[in-house]
Amino acid sequence: MPDGWTWDETLFAATVRELLRPGGVLVHVAELKGGEAAGETRWPRVPYGDVARLVKEYLGPVRRAGRGLLPRGTPGGEAKVFREAGFLGPERYVVPGAGELERGEDDVVARVFSLSSSAPGLFGHRVAEFEAELRELLRACSPEGCFTERAPDTEVFVWRTP
């Protein structure tokens, strides 16, 4: 794809459509972005804005997606791609998150490294330096190393074959 995304959505949708029997389904599950916890919390919120700025300092302003780059952000248009492949739908469901969660410093570091846009391998020989600076940032926000975070809602799209 021109964006450097790591896979071809059109090929994926067509291939899955061919593999499914009539009446089969493709289920796309994703974290629903947005939604901050409201009001006072026991611990500070995870400073994701500051974390994102730190990642950009190390990796540059263009968002990563594994080995690819996303100069214009994450590609959209999945609905069009799935419909063109012959899927019907989608049916959309939202599963509410579990409310507010307490996270430790290690949890936050693990989450940052679990993202394709900030996976450890992207930092190369500077990964230890990045992690040390990330932990310093987190301790400045919460010396106890504890944070409150709203568990994200989950968005589920069900695409059916005719």
Answer whether residue 140 is part of any domain.
Answer: yes
Tell me the residue range of the domain where 132 lies.
Answer: 9-160
Token representation of residue 63 = 């968002």
The mean-pLDDT minimum among 24-28, 75-79, 133-137, 153-157 falls in 75-79
Answer whether residue 4 is part of any domain.
Answer: no
Answer whether residue 1 is part of any domain.
Answer: no
Q: Examine the pLDDT at 6 and tell me if it is beyond 80.
A: no
Token representation of residue 70 = 């996303």
Report the distance separating Cα 60 and Cα 96, nearest Å.
34
Contact 55, 112 (CB under 8 A): yes
Total of domains in the chain: 1
Contact 11, 115 (CB under 8 A): no
Given CA atoms 95, 100, 102, 108 in this order, what sign does their dihedral have?
positive
Whole-structure pTM value? 0.72
Which residue from 148, 33, 47 is spatially nearest to 101, judged by alpha carbons? 148
Structure confidence at residue 1 (pLDDT) = 34
pLDDT (tens digit, 9 = 90+) per residue, 71-92? 555 556 789 999 999 999 999 9
